[in-house]
Structures are given as C-alpha cells and as structure tokens.
A and B are shown apart, each in its own frame.
Chain A
Amino acid sequence: MTAVATKPPSSSSGTAIPPRRPSSAPMRFIKSPRFARAMFLPAVLVFWLISNKLIENSWDFDSSVLATPREVWDFMWAEVTRDTVAPKDLYETFGISLYRLGIGFSISMILGTTIGLGMGLSRAVNAFFHDWVMALLAMPALAWALFLSLIFGFDNKGPIIAVVLAGIPFVIVNVREGVRSTPRDLFDMSNAFGVPSNKRTRHVLLPSLYPFLFASARYALSIGWKGLVIIELFGGQDGAGWTVKFWYDAHRLHGVIGYSMFFVIFALVMENAILEPISRRVFRWRPSLNSPDIVEEEMDALYDVEELNRELDANLPTGSTQET
C-alpha cells in the first residue's frame, strides 16, 4: 500500500541533485499534487455547506431555495431510477435532445464541409462567404435561441436549425484550414512518381483532412449542444434545456444543479466513450499523440525532433536524464 511512499529518495542517478530533506511518508503523501486534487471535491462540499449557512443567516431567504449536496444527490438518483415529477423522465428527455443534436450535427458537417472545401480551394468563394462565416462564428447561441424560438415555437425545426447555425462556422473554418495546409511536399512526391489523381485524393488529400474534420466534429458537437440547450430552454416544450427550465421555474435549485451535473456527465461520456476511441483509431499512425489537436506541424519537423532526441540519447551518458 505504501510502496511508492517507502521508496528511498532517488539519489541513485549520478548527477548532482541536492539531497532532499528527509520527510515522513504520510507528510509526503499529503504534499503530493494527487492528494491535493483529491482534496478539491471535499473542499467544494465544505465550502458549499458553509456558504449555504452564511446566505441563510445574512438574508431572509426562503431557505428551501437553497440546496444541499445531499438533496442534489437524491434528486439525481431519483432521476436515474425514473422517479420524477417532471413530465418526461431523464432518458426520454436526453433522447429527444440527442435526436435533435444528431440531425443538426449531420447537416452542419455536410454543409460545412462543402462550403469549407469551396473556400479553401477558391479565393472567390472564400471572399463570398468570409465575412458571414466570421459573423456567424462570433454570434452567440443565445441570439439564435431567442430569435428562432419565436419563429418556430415548439417545433423540432427551431432546435435543429440552432444546432446547425451554432456548429457550421466551426466546421467551415476548420475544413478551410485543412485544405489550405495540405501537405504540398507529399503532392509533389505523388506527382514525381506519377500517381493518378484519384489515388492521390484517397491516400494524400483525405487523410490529411481527417484531423481537421475530426476537430470540426468535436467543436460542432459541443457548441451545437450548448446552442440546443439554450433554445430548448427558451422555446421548447421538452428536451434537456426545457427540463432545466422546468426545475428553475419550480424554484428547485437541487433540480437545476442536478440536471447540470447530468450535462457534465453527458459531455464526459461523449468525450471518453465515443470521440476519444474514434480519435485513437483514426490517428493511430501518430506516434504518442492521443491529443485531439489539429496537426499543424510539418511532418519533417516532427522527424527532426525525433532525430535530435536520438542523437541526444546517444551522446548522453546512460542513466542521466535532462530534468530541470
């Protein structure tokens, strides 16, 4: 259990590391960042309870408005077990929202990729769309929500359009970047070897676009989700956003917090259970890079670093590491 803590201070390496002050194992554990991270949640809970008390004592609040962690937990458990007073239970609610998100997301990917390709390939097309895409990019989802909710009322159309409008500028911008940063040297190589153009498209152009498409999908999903929640909140009659509003209007803070927690959990599941595995599968050629970042560095540069490291390794006496 204390295998890590009882390990002697690492003075084995030959380089001159100043001897550490001897400290006891428990002390070192308390001082470790991992312990600090674990302490965050209890600290938040304590802070939460204390501020509840403070608020209750400072103002003549109706104390039933405030929520305790316990109440939030109970609420969440009740929702998960389908024991709810809201008109639709958790699963139905998320099902409805996911359906809208899925359709809106697909539309924004298809339309956005088309426009992005056009903008990357042609200066005229780029000039045609540029200002409007930038405006769309900066437009908050809130704006769409208020506006579309008035137009479409309680229809599915409003939320779907909101998802499309929120996500599409990110897709366009990313795809355009992808087209612009296609690897020229690999195209030259293909030309020198006389590789036919359909093969070039399949093996050079498309793979070089994947990272950008993937980044687009990620953005479009997360921004689209935020936009969806807001429009459901203002102009829906069901869905995740509407249900949060339902608890808000009922003055049930534990409901609002609990539902927000479901959002966070939903986002985490989407990230770790869906996007991350896909990313790892699609980008398995990238050495030790699991991060979803867009590859912007030149492949040549990547190799050079590797070469440099190899040289460094070869030149350094074994055992010593370059730690500062």
Chain B
Amino acid sequence: MIAVVTTMTTEVPAPDRVTQEDIEEAARRKELIIRWISRISGYVVVLGLWEWASGAVLEENLLPGPTRVLQTAVELFQDGKVFPAFGASLSRILLGVFLSFIIGSMIGIITQNRWFSGFFKDAITIGLTSPGLIWVLITALVFGNRWFGPILAIILTTFALVSVNVAEGIGSLPKDTLDMARAFKVNLVDRNRHIVIPHLAPYLFTGLRFSFSIGWKVTVLTEIFTASSGIGFELRIAQILFRQDEVLTWILLFFVFALFLEKVVLQAIEDRFFRWRKEIAST
C-alpha cells in the first residue's frame, strides 16, 4: 500500500513589509507600462498600416493616408468652411433633438395610461427599429429642401428612445419613498422636487444622450439628400467632385466632434449631476 498521493510543501519565509509593498508597486508600474506600450503600438500599427496602404494598396487619391487627411483638415479650417458647416448641422440637430425630446416625453407620459400604451406600442417599436434612412428619403421626397424635412426625420427616428426612457423612469418611481413622504405629509411640490424629479432626471438625460447620438447621423444623412448647407452638404459636394480626401476629412472631423459632444460633454454633465446614481437604466 503506497500511501502518499498528494503532497504540497511550500515554504515561503514571511517577507519584509517594505519590500513587499515595493514589489507590489513595481508590479503595478509594470502592468501600466505594458498597457501603455500595447496601446501606443496599437496606434502605431493601425495608423502605419493606413499610411502604408494609401499608395501601396490603393491609389492615394482613393485612400488618402492620415497625413494627407490632417493636411486637408488644416486647409478646410483655413478656408473657413468648417465652422459654418458645423453651425448649420448643429442647429438642425439641436432643434430636432429638442422637439423629439418634448414629443417623446409627452408620449412617454401618456403611455402610463393602459389604453395609450396599447395604442403607441407599435409606434414605439417602429420608431426604435426602423432605420433613419427610410425617414430621410421619405421626408426628402415629400418636403424637398424645406427646413422641417430634416427636423421631422430626426424626430421620427429618435422620439421612441425618449418615450421608452421616460416610461421606464415613471414606471420605476420609488413607490416606498413616495409613500413614506406621503405618510410624513410632505406636500406635493416638495415631493416632486425632492423625489420625482431627481428620480426622473437620469432617465431623461439618457434618452437625450441616445437621441443625440442617433440624431447627428440622421442629420448628416438628410443634408446629403436635401440641404444646401451643413456637413452632409459638404460631403455630397466632395463626393460629386471625387475629392476623396475631403470626404474622409469631413467624415472624421464630424465624427470626432460628435464623439466629443457625446462622450465628453454630455457624459461629464451626466457624471456630475447623477453621481449618486451608479447605474443608469437604459434600453
């Protein structure tokens, strides 16, 4: 009968406290260095491939490299084309998102009623799933280049996001807290101010952020078809003239700008005001 099957013997002398912390600090630093090296090499490889492909794989006119794009961007800024175009697009987006926010909230509120909830059920499904392109084409055909065509397209593609978030917010109102407030005879105004509005605000904000992120894409799309100003318009002109470098530059410029608004500005506002709320319900 041979007995021993598993034997583990690990003798590690209790390490000195200071060195232990040093080791850990070093490990953390090493980890950080590896992460940054990987990240930077990611940038180098992607940008390098892009620069190399431009010219080597495809003609430079078809695929302008990063340096060429940067150059074009500078030129566009110097020509003074960028800010008017951004201004035109942005004002359309803001108006569209604002109206969609109001309409969406109203629908979100009245769908608390079971009948209206049934009535709007399919409308919200359609609003959430139908591609913006459809509404863009339809409004472009019907309204031509009248100013509210694009606005209507934005509203139709984004209202449902707001509605769903508002309905979600109302549905999840903290009933126990409200009951507590009522039991303590807190008046209606204070109840709304301290419970209902703080509770709803994050939901409203999420709806707003989502509709912005969809709205700007729809806006550019409508401008390609109908408008005579804005990013989309500039894109179309560049495409017609086969100026691939300008197409790419406009796309990237607006992409960076929208991303900045969405992820930096709106996110910062959200983080600041809703710090108490770690996880915001989103649909």
Contact = CB atoms under 8 A, between A and B. Distances in A.
Interface stretch (A84-92, A167-175, A259-267, A275-283): A259-267
Dominant secondary structure of chain A at its interface with chain B? helix
Contacts of A33: 114-115, 117-119, 121
B55 to A, nearest CB: 13
B62 A151 contact: yes
B174 to A, nearest CB: 14
A257 B138 contact: yes
A129 B123 CA distance: 39
16 contacts: A33-B117, A125-B38, A127-B42, A128-B38, A129-B42, A138-B259, A139-B255, A146-B247, A146-B251, A150-B239, A151-B62, A233-B133, A244-B133, A248-B137, A260-B134, A260-B138
B248 interface: yes
Interface residues of B, number: 52
A65 interface: yes
Nearest to B35: A127
A7 interface: no
A65 B121 contact: no
A294 interface: no
A139 B239 CA distance: 19
B242 A253 contact: no
Contacts of A36: 114-119
A31 interface: yes
Interface in B15-37: 31, 34-37
B107 interface: no
Max chain A Cβ within 10 angstroms of own Cβ: one of B36, B114, B119, B123: B119
B244 interface: yes
A146 B239 contact: yes
Interface in B40-95: 41-43, 45-46, 58, 62-63
A144 B157 CA distance: 21
B119 A151 contact: no
Contacts of B121: 33, 37, 40
A31 B115 contact: yes
Contact of B38 (A124, A135, A248, A260): A124
B38 A229 contact: no
B48 to A, nearest CB: 13
A226 interface: yes
Contacts of A124: 34-35, 37-38
B248 A147 contact: yes
B122 interface: yes
Contacts of A99: none
B124 to A, nearest CB: 10
B97 interface: no
